[in-house]
């Protein structure tokens, strides 16, 4: 072990120190408003350490267990940004579990540490440990409300998450048995010299790859591993639902992209085969998510199925990225651009929902009737976010889908893009069902709905970036392209 390498883990170590500090402060300080301040400061300090090592040449730490590269650092910043925004959005929501605020913020930060380690892990052992660190914290956070729905959601997430972890571990074991390595970069050295012409000729590799995709499929909520999403999204605290829908999903896509592109990127027939598997899953995922979302009456369940559909769109980009093997920046950068736009859009939608539900104590869509009269700014912000999720101008969602779909067309996945476009039209129906309720239906009461200043701050940041990314996407595309250059651009 090289002690000098610890400097590269400064973002995670500093965040851990602040998490422990929050627990200690919670024990001795009665004024709990200091806790979210410490959480935000901790995330900012961690982000500062990331920026300090941003220009560092890519390096593998601890005998190639962890990578320090622009790809991992970029996703670490995304996870920290999501943590800060969720912390701000929790300003009033934590009053629902006032006695456990310290545990809430500490667990949120521990989960962020796990996700940050996950996006830079380049060894199956490190990937599994980081995945479990983030997951165990989230299991507890999902059941934090301690009511019937929250407890059921936590139990379901725990059981299904354990099953998914076991499936992932079995897949890793098959690949280890075949290659004799757990190091992602070492596995590719074995794979590229395989004399076969198809996955069907290597049953052990096929089974291992399918199990690995299945295990990660749970993390990104891909069909048929999405069964946990609606109940967990509905039962969990809305702030944690927001965190699950963006930070956890972003980390899941980051690690699956790294594993597939690096470990299984060569020979050509191998990345072509797994790209087709991803493409088929993408078509099924977006279709199931959108069709089931149409009949939802609870806005958290609706956005839960929406997140499944969005995972399908992201998998379109992942399939195209596999076919290019990182040689086309509009494909690789477009996938990360979509993740960035989705994170900001979905967080903005959930922050608006958090502010509204705190006042009306309901997540039913019919209770959003006439919200434009009760809170014009919140209704407008939520509308902009829903428009972006639908992929309409002038928002980031439109540009993100253009990047994803055009890249897929370039790689010959026209059939998949046709399915994706049809699904985008379907999604507009249920997104605008919410918009219609807020703008065109008379409210049951004229009571005003407001938000705290931290909620306004987080919501404003999300909405501004959603619009700016839709109007001037070039700057952000350059940033996302730089993040994925490790894949060969």
pTM of the predicted protein model:
0.92
Q: How far are the Cα atoms of 243, 339, 463 from residue 344, in angstroms, in the given order?
A: 11, 9, 8
| For residue 458, pLDDT beyond 80 | yes
Q: At CA 395, angle to CA 392 and CA 398, rounded to 5?
A: 50
pLDDT at 40: 93
Tokens of 415: 């059939």
> For 275, how many CA atoms within 13 A lie in the half-sphere containing its CB?
24
Report yes or no on 100 lying in a domain. Answer: no
Report yes or no on 201 lying in a domain. Answer: no
Mean pLDDT for all residues in the chain: 87
Report yes or no on 488 lying in a domain. Answer: yes
Tokens of 455: 């909620």
Compute the distance between CA of residue 474 and CA of residue 480 in angstroms, rounded to an integer: 10
pLDDT at 488: 44
Report yes or no on 344 lying in a domain. Answer: yes
Compute the distance between CA of residue 143 and CA of residue 33 in angstroms, rounded to an integer: 22
Place of tokens 């938000």: 451
Report yes or no on 176 lying in a domain. Answer: no
Highest mean pLDDT, choosing among 55-64, 298-307, 442-451: 298-307
How many independent structural domains does the chain possess? 1
First to last CA, the chain: 32
Asked if 391 and 424 count as a contact pair (C-beta separation under 8 A), the reply is yes
| For residue 418, pLDDT beyond 80 | yes
Q: How many other C-beta atoms are found inside a 10 Å radius of the C-beta of residue 40? A: 18
* Residues composing the chain: 489
pLDDT at 3: 64
pLDDT at 69: 85
| Widest CA span in the chain | 71
pLDDT at 292: 92
How large is the C-alpha radius of gyration of the chain? Answer: 21
Compute the distance between CA of residue 342 and CA of residue 336 in angstroms, rounded to an integer: 10
pLDDT band per the 50, 70, 90 thresholds, residue 325:
low
pLDDT at 4: 65
Report yes or no on 421 lying in a domain. Answer: yes
Cis peptide before 224 (omega within 30 of 0): yes
Report yes or no on 291 lying in a domain. Answer: yes
Tokens of 292: 């089931």
3-state class of 298 per DSSP?
Answer: strand
3-state class of 263 per DSSP?
Answer: helix
Compute the distance between CA of residue 164 and CA of residue 199 in angstroms, rounded to an integer: 23
pLDDT at 110: 93
Task: Name the DSSP letter for residue 248.
Answer: I
Cβ-Cβ contacts under 8 Å for 41 (sequence gap 6 or more): 18
Tokens of 21: 């500090």
Cβ-Cβ contacts under 8 Å for 464 (sequence gap 6 or more): none
pLDDT at 100: 84
Report yes or no on 405 lying in a domain. Answer: yes
Element (H, E) at 67: strand 66-68
pLDDT digits (tens, 9 = 90+) for 96-111: 887 888 899 999 999 9
User: What angle, rounded to 10 degrees, do the helices at 299-324 and 268-293 form?
Assistant: 160
pLDDT band per the 50, 70, 90 thresholds, residue 327:
low
pLDDT digits (tens, 9 = 90+) for 1-32: 566 677 888 899 999 999 999 999 988 887 78
**Residue 462, domain extent:** 273-489
User: What angle, rounded to 10 degrees, do the helices at 474-483 and 329-360 form?
Assistant: 110
pLDDT digits (tens, 9 = 90+) for 240-297: 999 988 888 889 888 998 888 888 877 777 778 888 889 999 999 999 999 999 999 8
Compute the distance between CA of residue 378 and CA of residue 386 in angstroms, rounded to an integer: 12
Compute the distance between CA of residue 82 and CA of residue 70 in angstroms, rounded to an integer: 18
């Amino acid at each position: 072990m090289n002690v000098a390498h610890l400097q590269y883990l400064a973002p995670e170590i500093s965040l851990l120190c602040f998490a422990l500090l929050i627990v200690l402060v919670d024990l001795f300080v009665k004024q709990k408003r200091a806790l979210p301040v410490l959480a935000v400061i901790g995330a900012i300090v961690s982000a500062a350490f990331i920026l300090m090592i941003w220009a560092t040449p890519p390096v593998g730490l601890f005998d190639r267990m962890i990578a320090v590269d622009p790809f991992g650092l970029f996703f670490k910043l995304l996870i920290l940004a999501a943590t800060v925004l969720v912390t701000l959005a929790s300003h009033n929501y934590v009053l629902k579990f006032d006695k456990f605020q310290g545990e809430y913020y500490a667990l949120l930060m521990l989960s962020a540490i796990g996700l940050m380690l996950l996006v830079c892990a380049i060894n199956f052992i490190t990937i599994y440990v980081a995945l479990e660190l983030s997951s165990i914290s989230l299991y507890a956070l999902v059941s934090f409300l301690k009511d019937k729905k929250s407890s059921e959601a936590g139990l379901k997430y725990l059981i299904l998450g354990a099953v998914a972890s076991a499936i992932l571990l079995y897949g890793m074991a098959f690949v280890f048995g075949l290659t004799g390595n757990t190091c992602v970069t070492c596995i590719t050295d074995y794979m590229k010299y395989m004399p076969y012409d198809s996955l069907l000729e290597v049953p052990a590799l096929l089974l291992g790859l399918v199990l690995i995709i299945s295990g990660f499929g749970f993390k990104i909520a891909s069909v048929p591993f999405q069964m946990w999403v609606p109940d967990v999204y509905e039962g969990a605290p809305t702030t944690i639902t927001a965190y699950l829908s963006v930070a956890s999903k972003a980390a899941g896509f980051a690690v699956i992209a790294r594993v597939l592109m690096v470990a299984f990127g060569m020979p050509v027939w191998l990345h072509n085969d797994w790209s087709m598997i991803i493409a088929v899953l993408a078509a099924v995922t977006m279709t199931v998510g959108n069709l089931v979302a149409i009949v939802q009456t609870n806005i958290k369940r609706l956005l839960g199925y929406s997140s499944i559909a969005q995972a399908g769109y992201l998998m379109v980009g992942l399939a195209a990225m596999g076919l290019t093997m990182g040689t086309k920046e509009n494909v690789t950068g477009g996938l990360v651009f979509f993740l960035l736009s989705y994170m900001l859009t979905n967080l903005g939608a959930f922050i608006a929902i958090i502010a509204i539900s705190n006042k009306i104590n309901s997540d039913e869509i019919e209770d959003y009737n006439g919200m434009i009269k009760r809170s014009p700014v919140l209704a407008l912000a939520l509308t902009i976010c829903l428009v972006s999720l639908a992929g309409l101008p002038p928002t980031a969602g439109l540009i993100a889908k253009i990047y994803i779909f055009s890249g897929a067309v370039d790689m010959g996945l026209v059939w998949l893009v046709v399915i994706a476009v049809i699904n985008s039209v379907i999604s507009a129906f249920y997104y605008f069902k919410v918009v219609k309720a807020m703008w065109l239906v008379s409210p049951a009461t004229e009571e005003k709905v407001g938000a705290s200043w931290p909620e306004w701050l987080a919501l404003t940041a999300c909405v501004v970036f959603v619009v700016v990314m839709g109007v001037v996407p070039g700057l952000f595309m350059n940033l996302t392209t730089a993040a994925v250059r490790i894949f060969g651009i």
